[in-house]
Amino acid sequence: MAMSRHRICQFFRLMDAKLKEGIEPMRCYSTKEDLKKLRPMILKRIENRAKDYPVKAMIPVAREVLHSRSVLVHGVSLLLKVIPIVSCAFCPEVYIGEKGHLIKTCRGYKHRSKNQVHRWIRGGLNDILVPVETFHLDNMFRAVIKHQQRFDFDRISAVVELCWQAGVDLNEQDNPMDSWIRHPAEASADMAEAFSSDDLRLIANDTLRAWETLRSGVEKLLLVYPTKVCEHCSEVHVGPSGHKARLCGVFKYESWRGAHFWKKAGVDDLVPPKIVWRPRPQDPPVLLDEGRDFYGHAPAVVDLCTRAGAMAPTKYFCLMKVQGLSGPAGVDRPS
């Protein structure tokens, strides 16, 4: 304690000596004054940066992404007319098939329990292609959206917003402002029932190809156009900085309630893969909880397309556990 007082006294003595010699001590500038001087320079720099966008070389990539998105939605809608899917009523779990599995991974209503059997209901398109929406900006480098301004902006698909900022004219696309189509056209039901196995295989191959093209195109766009995602929730913002709408943790089971904590977004944030359990030929007809460590997984789109006859890309074989065991020894399989 005495040592610290001695150092403080030395500091003040040194300052007094400098003042007597006419040497000005180190100044502490006010933060507000510095910001006022730097503000025009910062705004001018932002304005000059906006002139570099959109990047002309990325416009064909953005157009390909929008086209692949349209093909993907149409293909999945047709496959769902033939291949049934089920989803859990209490959690985001999805299973491709008429009956769900018996794996206890449900946390119940409002996450009040854990390791429960799922309650299966009929699934739809949004269970396979998870909609991710964001604010539609008129300018990429506009002012940050305040909380009270959150209703002044439209919410559109994050992929569509990314392509729009990349220079694509949305008026040239079919229904570009819509999110994932929630209810496929009923007129295609009779047509889907008349599809042969070859037709389904062709649709599945085109859909799977569109899925891979969409994800690879979004990955390329994210290298050029900054996009943010919240660390605590799935909110996405396409732009150099996130918005200030206090929408994080609005549900009771989420850990944070207030402003978002932004970080750099990835492909999975804009195009969620929706990983599902995928049965293999060596697995039982109904997946059991005892074999959960042995069963494979796959993105929902990939599993849906392989059910229709498409060949899964080799990069998913490790996730699918194609040559893996069917389960522990001594487990009885249901007939």
State residue 188's pLDDT score.
Answer: 47
Q: CB–CB of 89/124 below 8 Å?
A: no
Helix axes 197-222, 300-307, angle to 10 degrees: 160
For 96, the enclosing helix (H) or strand (E) is strand 94-96
Alpha-helix runs per DSSP H in 22-129: 31-50, 59-80, 125-128
Give the Cβ contact number of residue 89 at 10 Å.
12
Mean pLDDT for each consecutive 10-residue tract of the chain (335 residues)? 60 62 52 69 74 86 96 95 94 93 87 85 94 89 83 92 90 54 44 76 96 97 93 88 79 60 93 94 91 93 95 94 76 51
Question: Token digits for 177?
Answer: 């402002």
- Spatial separation of the C-alpha atoms in residues 28 and 22, rounded to whole Å: 18
Q: How many CA atoms lie within 13 A of 25 on its CB side?
A: 11
Q: CB–CB of 178/155 below 8 Å?
A: no
Residue 153, φ and ψ in degrees, nearest 5? -125, 140
Q: Is 65 exposed, middle or buried (0-12, 13-18, 19+ CB in 10 A)?
A: buried
Q: 238-242 long-range contacts, Cβ below 8 Å, gap at least 24?
A: 238/134, 238/137, 238/158, 238/161, 238/162, 238/165, 239/137, 239/140, 239/141, 239/165, 240/140, 240/141, 241/144, 242/144
**Positive or negative, the Cα torsion across 58, 64, 66, 69?**
negative
The reported pTM is: 0.78
Residues contacting residue 115 through CB under 8 Å, at least 6 positions apart: 104, 105, 106
State residue 215's pLDDT score.
Answer: 97
**Closest alpha carbon to 160 in 233, 230, 225:** 225
Q: Given the structure tokens 């902006």, which residue do they identify?
A: 153
DSSP string across 274-305: -EEEE--TTS-SS--GGGTTT-EEEEHHHHHH
State residue 323's pLDDT score.
Answer: 85
Q: Are strands 155-157 and 133-135 parallel, antiparallel or unpaired?
A: antiparallel
Residue 75, φ and ψ in degrees, nearest 5? -65, -45
Q: CB–CB of 181/125 below 8 Å?
A: yes
Q: Is 269 exposed, middle or buried (0-12, 13-18, 19+ CB in 10 A)?
A: buried
State residue 14's pLDDT score.
Answer: 66
State residue 182's pLDDT score.
Answer: 44
- Spatial separation of the C-alpha atoms in residues 275 and 322, rounded to whole Å: 16
Does residue 33 sit in helix, strand or coil?
helix
